[in-house]
Amino acid sequence: MMNKWLAAAILAVSFLVMAPMAHGQEKGAVREGFSAETLSGKKILLFRPSVWVGEQSTGGLAEPNADWTAQAREFLNAELARRQIEFSNELIIEPDLVGEDAKLFSEHRALFNSVASSVVNYQFFAGNRLPTRKNKAFDWTLGEGTKAIAERTGAQYGLFVRTEDQYGSFGRKMFQVLAIGLVGAGVSSGKHVGYAGLVDLHTGNLVWLNADEQMGGDVRTEEGMQKRVGQLLEDFPGFKPVATAAK
């Protein structure tokens, strides 16, 4: 009887905890035939990064925080600009567009998000991994529609960055402690996921993706964001050899 209730409670709690299971870690991949040499001297277009920062309520609900998000976005932009010297490429910022061009960018941002999520869900991490993707080559594409973006901007590569941070609220942390102490149920507090990806705009191919479901660095502080960006761009093929060696 005890066990039945325990199971029910854990089930109930697991509904509340929407954070990924413990097997989420860091994963990255580079497309076959792509290397730092391929990238050298080419312009990279930085798409507007997706940033979300907030708290996680006791019950596991995501609570957005406008100040933290705005702050993190500022730190992220500053950090990417600061690291420009480490890139062997020129980084250009996504232009503010209207009309058909804006539609083109909007579609491809959405497409990248879908493809990147598929990579994360179905190839990178155990659990949902598809048999057709398990231990197979990193072979994903957005299709040749990206060519139009290359023509508009003169960039050959597109860089996408996304971070999402839910910091455990006081209530959540208390709940976590009590859940493990009283009934031995593991409850996660906080959620820190992010990815960065590079797309060859001429072919639409995803050439590099780095995803991390348990990222470090407190994005609400400048130093934390430096650490975060360092993790996001870890093994990015476009760093100058010197910068990579210095790490």
Contact residues for another protein, defined by CB under 8 A:
1-2, 5-6, 8-10, 12-13, 16, 50, 52, 54, 57-61, 63-67, 69-70, 97, 102-103, 105-107, 109-110, 171, 175, 178-179, 182-183, 185
CA 178 to chain centre: 31
Nearest approach in angstroms of CB 61 to another protein is: 5
Of 23, 45, 19, whose CA–CA distance to 161 is shortest? 45
Single-letter code of the amino acid located at 177 = V
Nearest approach in angstroms of CB 197 to another protein is: 17
Q: Do residues 183 and 6 touch, judged by C-beta distance below 8 A? A: yes
Q: Whose Cβ is closer to another protein: residue 71's or residue 156's?
A: 71
Q: Whose Cβ is closer to another protein: residue 105's or residue 138's?
A: 105
Q: Is 18 helix (H, G, I), strand (E, B) or coil?
A: coil
> What is the spatial distance between Cα 205 and Cα 113, in angstroms, rounded to a whole number?
14
Q: Phi/psi zone of residue 73: left (φ > 0), alpha (ψ -120 to 50 degrees), beta?
A: alpha
Q: Whose Cβ is closer to another protein: residue 21's or residue 178's?
A: 178
Q: Whose Cβ is closer to another protein: residue 6's or residue 22's?
A: 6
Q: Do residues 29 and 208 touch, judged by C-beta distance below 8 A? A: yes
Nearest approach in angstroms of CB 174 to another protein is: 10
Nearest approach in angstroms of CB 224 to another protein is: 20
Q: Whose Cβ is closer to another protein: residue 81's or residue 178's?
A: 178
Nearest approach in angstroms of CB 201 to another protein is: 18
Kindly state the tokens that stand for 49.
């990064």
Nearest approach in angstroms of CB 130 to another protein is: 28
Q: Whose Cβ is closer to another protein: residue 72's or residue 207's?
A: 72
> What is the spatial distance between Cα 7 and Cα 241, in angstroms, rounded to a whole number?
53
Q: How far is CA 133 from CA 5, 45, 204, 205, in A?
A: 38, 29, 19, 16
